[in-house]
Structure 1
Amino acid sequence: MNDFVHTFTAMPTARPPGCPFDPPKELLDAREHGPISRYTFPDGHQGRLVTGYDLVRSILADPRFSSRRELMRHHPLVDYGDIEVPPAPPGEFLLMDEPQHSRYRKPLVGRFTVRRMRQLTERVEQITAEHLDAMEQAGPTADLVTAFAKPIPSVIICELLGVPYEERGRFQENIDTFLGGEAGDEEMFAAYTATQDYLAELVAAKRANPTDDVLSDLLDSDLTDEELKGMALILLSAGFDTTANMLALGTFALLRNPEQLAALRADPTLTDRAVEELLRYLSVAKQFHRVALEDVELGGQTIRAGSMVILSYNTANRDPERFADPHVLDLHRQDGGHLAFGHGIHQCLGQQLARVEMRVALPALLDRFPTLRLAVPAEEVALRPETADIYGVKSLPVTWDV
């Protein structure tokens, strides 16, 4: 078993040459030696890197591990030095523990149920058709990111939050900046602040003139405007960026696996399974962090109180002890239970919305353009930097026969 053969001093980010969908080879190699490795952070802190499915899932459900931002002094890529990291702003519940976490999440749970999200299917179909019409009229080439992958989840999340769609440019570019992995610290902070400022204006507008949307529904609660702003930021960034990258990267993966693409075209009943397999295979949200609140025995090792733990989702979802032939994209796969949406109390609130959007948009795209293919060699597709929090493609040029 693992005796810490691997000790990391930097987070591996480089994807294998020619394999843009696979996790970094160093992480996969570490997993072969065991599910947990040492990790020395830039400031010298000794933490852990967890690459195995069972341990990642266990930690996500374990209240002895914290999500609180102020405890995460040690970032795998940044040395915070002596800077005291403040708690998460009000409403940004992803970086909180109980009971603060539930204070913000519980009012939203009923608005993101499976039933409610499925009721959105007709609207997602309409939006998808409109953008495919525009693609077809402007074709026979397109950047699938800007013509298809970004606008569909953008329209939906705007409507859910009551954001006027004509104002989407005010947040789309800023979200790309602070999640895209290319901006410097100052630029990222400026984009984050600009998004917060916009959402503060939006909450104030809802107070003055409520409409039929999630934010307006919450106005009668005891939540402050500052808390509503933070909650809106989580919903806006998560509801837009992750799904947009799944749609684009998922299409890229299908185009690079023609036998799987042919299977999906031949059997539309595979759609649900195909969505789950793409979520597992791609794991665009690559990693999350936790901090041990007490000494914890895990994987045959003691994780000391205060130690930070990096949870590698993309290797957990490629764990051969959990998934047969894990590096193969197999739309007929039977072994489900991926961690693409996390697990435990922080499991993605909008996972059903993402599923609806993918189940509608991907088959519609393939049906509309039976000859869809890359317009550039695969190695020329512009990928997001490996350091980005959410992995994906920056641009996906495609073409089709007319």
Structure 2
Amino acid sequence: MSADAVPTLPITRTCPFTPHAEHRKLREEAPISKVKLPNGRVVWVATSHKDIRAILSDPRFSSNRRDPNFPTLAYERPPSSNLRPMLIELDSPEHGPARRAVLGEFTLQRMNALTPRIQQIVDEHIDAMLAGPRPVDLVQALSLPVPSLVICELLGVPYADHEFFQTHSSQIISQKAPADVIMRSVIALMTYLGQLVGAKVQNPTDDLLSRQIQKQLETGAVDFEGLVSMAFLLLIAGHETTANMISLSTLVLTQHPEKLAAIQEDPSKTIGAVEELLRYFTIAESALGRVAKADVEIGGVTIKAGEGVFALANMANRDPEVFENADELNLDRGSRNHLAFGFGPHQCLGQNLARLELQIVIDTLFKRIPGLKSAVPFEELSFKDSSTVYGMNEFPVTW
């Protein structure tokens, strides 16, 4: 099939709650097939739950985003960088030790210890909402500052600088930002974090970065570039994804008052509801790219060495062979086999933290402001159609 005959993969959602019809068509007609990205590159795309799990757990597929064949949605590929590869860019054998070094910071035990502080942060921001004028933009008042403040405190990043890193992170994950703009933001954020790590080497505090520095000093020298790279990844991933999930979850729950009432009456259902909301939205639907290091047969199709492949997690999470009535928002589904956090060796490091933040926000927000609702018609809401992580630009609410 010539490149001209290959269908173009649409990126923009036509509805916040529903995958694009062309994505469904791909899964139904050709679960693994070639598509053209909006930037003109031709790659493979996988759409079934089974095939995507196989791809994400197969070491013959590389996560190296610096490979020129790695699939990207950016209209321009950023120029090569001399910066240390991030954790999500590493393959075995380098990936395992690097991940294990920081994995202990995100255990359930560590998250339980964080719960009182996260609850305090959420309460303080809801206090401010209740004391201020209405309507209020939920994104700026709650969705963004809560995970931003949490990840800042976890890493030891001064929250006073949050506007700086939020501005640069939004550029970095934009699909339409020019390559030079993305690279300037990467360098600015890396420079900032380099100065922060340097300061913590001299004056450690009680935070993730300082603990990593201390562990490294006990066995040798500080891996300065490695710490900066890790901080860069955690800082961006730690607030962008959860912030967008808070807004979208709030939106859909206000659209379904009967479902909201069920978890208001029984907060024990919130844990399961969070899993279903993660599956339902799959906000990083196209973030799971890989490039084949060898010829691999998946689903009866051979992906050749050097070819890129996108794993459409949104389609995996709506796969009717895995999820009954997959397009229905069923807060009692209780399924944790969704791929919202990816799968395999690179499964999201901070998933326990994200779950905890979502649970606390949902329970607290609707307990304290039970009449919360959108302040504008649904048609006037603005969504992040050009970002790698889907979400809302703003969400005016009132009560």
- TM-score (structure 2 length as normaliser): 0.92
Q: Which of 129, 139, 150 in structure 1 is aligned with 2:133?
A: 139
Cα distance in 1 between the residues matched to 2:317 and 2:367: 29
Q: Which of 130, 146, 152 in structure 2 is aligned with 1:152?
A: 146
Deviates more, 1:44-53 or 1:303-312: 44-53
Deviation of 1:9 (Å): 4.1
Cα distance in 1 between the residues matched to 2:193 and 2:115: 27
Deviation of 1:333 (Å): 0.9
Kindly indicate whether residue 194 of structure 2 is the aligned counterpart of residue 200 of structure 1.
Answer: yes
Cα distance in 1 between the residues matched to 2:39 and 2:173: 23
Report if the CA contact (8 A) 2:69-2:291 is conserved: no
Cα distance in 2 between the residues matched to 1:65 and 1:40: 20
- TM-score (structure 1 length as normaliser): 0.91
Deviates more, 1:167-176 or 1:313-322: 167-176
- Please state whether the residue corresponding to 1:110 is helix, strand or coil: helix
- Please state whether the residue corresponding to 1:63 is helix, strand or coil: coil
- Please state whether the residue corresponding to 1:13 is helix, strand or coil: coil
Q: Sort the Cα spacing of 1:245 and 1:289 in 2 relative to 1 into closer, same or farther, 3 A.
A: same
Deviation of 1:34 (Å): 3.8
After superposition, the C-alpha distances for 1:325-351 in whole angstroms (9 at most, x for unaligned) are: 111111011443111111111010100
Q: Which of 19, 32, 39 in structure 2 is aligned with 1:36?
A: 32
Report if the CA contact (8 A) 1:68-1:88 is conserved: no
Q: Sort the Cα spacing of 1:249 and 1:181 in 2 relative to 1 into closer, same or farther, 3 A.
A: farther
Where do 1:76-225 residues align within 5 Å? 77=73, 86=80, 89-90=83-84, 92-181=86-175, 183-220=177-214, 221=216, 222-225=221-224
Report if the CA contact (8 A) 1:93-1:100 is conserved: no
Unmatched 5+ stretches in structure 2: none
**1:140 aligned partner, one-letter code:** R
Deviation of 1:113 (Å): 0.6
After superposition, the C-alpha distances for 1:85-111 in whole angstroms (9 at most, x for unaligned) are: 647832511011012222321110111
**2:301 aligned partner, one-letter code:** Q
Report if the CA contact (8 A) 2:276-2:334 is conserved: no
Report if the CA contact (8 A) 1:274-1:332 is conserved: yes
Q: Sort the Cα spacing of 1:172 and 1:79 in 2 relative to 1 into closer, same or farther, 3 A.
A: closer
Q: Which of 49, 56, 69 in structure 2 is aligned with 1:53?
A: 49
Where do 1:254-265 residues align within 5 Å? 254-265=253-264
Cα distance in 2 between the residues matched to 1:8 and 1:21: 27
- Please state whether the residue corresponding to 1:193 is helix, strand or coil: helix
In the alignment, which residue of structure 2 is the partner of 1:383? 383
After superposition, the C-alpha distances for 1:15-41 in whole angstroms (9 at most, x for unaligned) are: 23xx21212110011111242111245
Report if the CA contact (8 A) 1:292-1:303 is conserved: yes
Cα distance in 2 between the residues matched to 1:191 and 1:160: 22
Where do 1:259-278 residues align within 5 Å? 259-278=258-277
Deviates more, 1:347-356 or 1:39-48: 39-48
- Please state whether the residue corresponding to 1:55 is helix, strand or coil: helix
Cα distance in 2 between the residues matched to 1:280 and 1:40: 26
Q: Which of 63, 68, 73 in structure 1 is aligned with 2:59?
A: 63
Cα distance in 2 between the residues matched to 1:261 and 1:337: 23
Kindly indicate whether residue 304 of structure 2 is the aligned counterpart of residue 310 of structure 1.
Answer: no
**1:30 aligned partner, one-letter code:** L
Report if the CA contact (8 A) 1:91-1:226 is conserved: no
Deviation of 1:135 (Å): 0.4
- Please state whether the residue corresponding to 1:120 is helix, strand or coil: helix
In the alignment, which residue of structure 2 is the partner of 1:371? 371
- Please state whether the residue corresponding to 2:297 is helix, strand or coil: strand
Q: Sort the Cα spacing of 1:76 and 1:229 in 2 relative to 1 into closer, same or farther, 3 A.
A: closer
Deviates more, 1:181-190 or 1:205-214: 181-190
Deviation of 1:259 (Å): 2.2
Count of residue pairs brought into register by the alignment: 390
- Please state whether the residue corresponding to 2:8 is helix, strand or coil: coil
Cα distance in 1 between the residues matched to 2:212 and 2:92: 20
